[in-house]
Every structure is written in C-alpha cells, then in structure tokens.
Amino acid sequence: MKTTRAYAPASIGNVSLGFDVLGAALQPVDGTPLGDEVEIVDAEQYQLTVAGPFAHKLPSDPDTNIVTHCYHYFIEEMVKAGHTVSPVAVTLFKNLPIGSGLGSSASSIVAAFYGLNEHFGQPFCEDVLLLMMGELEGQISGSVHYDNVAPCYLGGMTLMTGQAAPVTVSLPVIQDWYWVICYSGISVSTSAARNILPKEVPMATALTFGRQLGIFVHALHSGDAKMAAGVMQDVIAEPYRKSLLPGFDDARDFAMQSGALAFGISGSGPTVFAVCNDRHTAEAVEQWLTENYIQNEDGFSHVCRIPSQGACQQQVEE
C-alpha cells in the first residue's frame, strides 16, 4: 500500500513591508520542526484523521477541515485533466497553532496539495499547484493571497507577481540574519484581522509602500542588509492590527533597543518577529519575548533562519 508523508513549514506573511505580496518560510536553528505534516495512504474511501498538539483546536467535523476541501478540489482537477483517481486516507498532524500568524492554514493546505501531488505521480506543475493553494487559502481568509502558501511550498523569501505564471519569484535572502518569532498563545482570526483594515489607503501611504518594496528588493539583490532593514516598516496593516496584540509596543521597544534591525507582526498576528544580525542578540530578544510577550501555555518562541527548502517529502515509518 503506497504511503506518502509531506511536511510544510511555518511562514511569515507580509514581512512588514509587503502586505499580501511578500512572505518567508521559517526553520528554527535548533532543528525543531515547525510546520504541519500529512500522511497519505491508499484506501477504500476518503477519510481524514487529525493528530498533533493543535488537533484539538480544529473544527470537530472533518468535512470542514481545509485538508478535506483540498482533497476534493485536487481530485476534481485530476478528473478534469483526464487522470485516473483512486481514494486515499489522510492523517493531518496539526503542529501549528490556528490563528497564530504563522501561516497555519497555509501549512495544512500546502502539505495536503504537495503530498497529494507526490502521491499521484506529480500530475500538476508548480504554478498550477500554487494557484490551487491560493484559491483554498482564499476560502479561509476571505481573499486570495499567496504570501504564506508560496514560501511554505517553495521555501525562501517569495514575492508575488500577480500573474498566473510565474505566480511568484524567489528573492535572495540576507544570509546573516536571524529571525526571532514569538507566538503569544492567543488566536487572531486572519479574516477578522483583514476586516478591520480600511478598504482604501491615502496616496502618501501608497507611495511609501511602493518605495519601501522597491528599495527592499533592490537591497536584497545588492546584498545591502542595512538598506533592506531600513525599509522594513508596515504602513498598511500594523497601525490597525497592533491593537489586537497586547504588549506589541513594549515588545518592539525592547527588541529595537536591544539591537534588532526590524520588528513586526507575522502575518495577521499575534506572532511577532524580530530581525537580528547576530545570534547573541536574537537569543536575548527571544528570551525577553518568552518572558514578556507570551500570554498562556500555548505560546512559544524560536530563533529561525529562512530555509531554502519549503515543502518536502518525509520518510515513512514502517
């Protein structure tokens, strides 16, 4: 019986300066896995089982789990494309907290689509899979955005093109940077955090957004870390969303005074991230955030790098 196991990492959406168009995959430096996993096995009929530390926070009806939606969508597309299909049973290992700002739904979606594509012999190419992933992410958050699914699937830091092919391009990353992330333990719904944003932005904000994104991409390509960090401010979402994040301003003040190069909200929060030049500063910021930003036993923090690999297959235990 064929079994496929797939892992898809956590990610930072927006990265402060690229609302909905910029994202980065995450990998803790200590090697701890930080992402959802799926195991897919040939079966008589479709069935979803959930396991893992955050499984109990998922909707109890498997039909409302995003992984089930991914399965039906994938199978429909296979049939439309003339492929033969056979049912599978899926186990989702829900390792990422829901509503955390770490691309939790994206991680489940990417693990499911990537795993199914591998299981069925890669019927779909990268861009087609990405379009499917974005579509499903849109069903959860209320609008299609690729800033979590793209880095989660492909790894690295990715910039969305707004085109069907390529959906995304990979940016160079500053290899020296450490990315501290801290999840406070509370849940913030992405769709609610989108609804509090104004539907239009003033001209001055649009000009700042465009300038920052252009300069950031230029700085990454020329390896200018100082210039890149200098434009990592969120003029679109953070001014509104930080009211949903208790302790946000204190956390930013501490991180910046401690030598962090940038600080912001990961996705729609409540996870925050700090960019640091060296491991010592990163560990000091992580320790402070652990002691002061975390609000309950679900919270955690990690010092991370941006991995070049995104979703991957894992060895199946016999």
If binding is defined by CB under 6 A, does position 99 make contact with ligand ADP? yes
Select from 3, 20, 139, 144 the one that contacts ligand LJ64HWYM (CB under 6 A): 20
Select from 16, 27, 91, 268 the one that contacts ligand LJ64HWYM (CB under 6 A): 268
In the complex, least distance from residue 50 CB atom to ligand ADP, rounded to whole angstroms: 8
If binding is defined by CB under 6 A, does position 35 make contact with ligand LJ64HWYM? no
If binding is defined by CB under 6 A, does position 194 make contact with ligand LJ64HWYM? yes
Residue 67: contacted member of ligand LJ64HWYM, ligand ADP, none (CB under 5 to 8 Å, by partner type): ligand ADP
Size of the site for ligand ADP (CB under 6 A): 18
In the complex, least distance from residue 158 CB atom to ligand ADP, rounded to whole angstroms: 17
Closest CA to 22 of 126, 122, 135, 149: 149
Residue 139: contacted member of ligand ADP, ligand LJ64HWYM, none (CB under 5 to 8 Å, by partner type): none
If binding is defined by CB under 6 A, does position 27 make contact with ligand LJ64HWYM? no
If binding is defined by CB under 6 A, does position 91 make contact with ligand ADP? no
If binding is defined by CB under 6 A, does position 10 make contact with ligand ADP? no
Q: Mask: binding to ligand ADP, 52-71, rule CB under 6 A, as x and -?
A: ------xx-----xxx----
Residue 145: contacted member of ligand LJ64HWYM, ligand ADP, none (CB under 5 to 8 Å, by partner type): ligand LJ64HWYM
If binding is defined by CB under 6 A, does position 105 make contact with ligand ADP? yes
Alpha-carbon distance of 99 to 189, in angstroms, equals 5
* DSSP of the chain: --EEEEEEE-EEESTTTSTTTEEEE-EETT----EEEEEEEE-SS-EEEEESTTGGGS-SSGGGSHHHHHHHHHHHHHHHTT-----EEEEEE--SPTTSSS-HHHHHHHHHHHHHHHHTT--S-HHHHHHHHHHHHHHHHSS---TTHHHHHH-SEEEE-SSSSSSEEEEP--TT-EEEEEE-S----HHHHHHTS-SS--HHHHHHHHHHHHHHHHHHHHT-HHHHHHT---SSSHHHHGGGSTTHHHHHHHHHHTT-SEEEESTTSS-EEEEESSHHHHHHHHHHHHHHT--STT-EEEEEE--S--SEEEPPP-
If binding is defined by CB under 6 A, does position 140 make contact with ligand ADP? yes
Residue placing its CB nearer to ligand ADP in the complex, 158 or 281: 158
Select from 37, 39, 147, 234 the one that contacts ligand LJ64HWYM (CB under 6 A): 147
If binding is defined by CB under 6 A, does position 28 make contact with ligand LJ64HWYM? no
Residue 42 neighbours by CB distance under 10 Å: 13
Q: Residue 281 corresponds to which amino acid? A: T
> What is the contact surface with ligand ADP in residues (CB under 6 A)?
58-59, 65-67, 92, 98-100, 103-105, 108, 140-141, 189-190, 267
Specify binding-site residues for ATP.
97-107
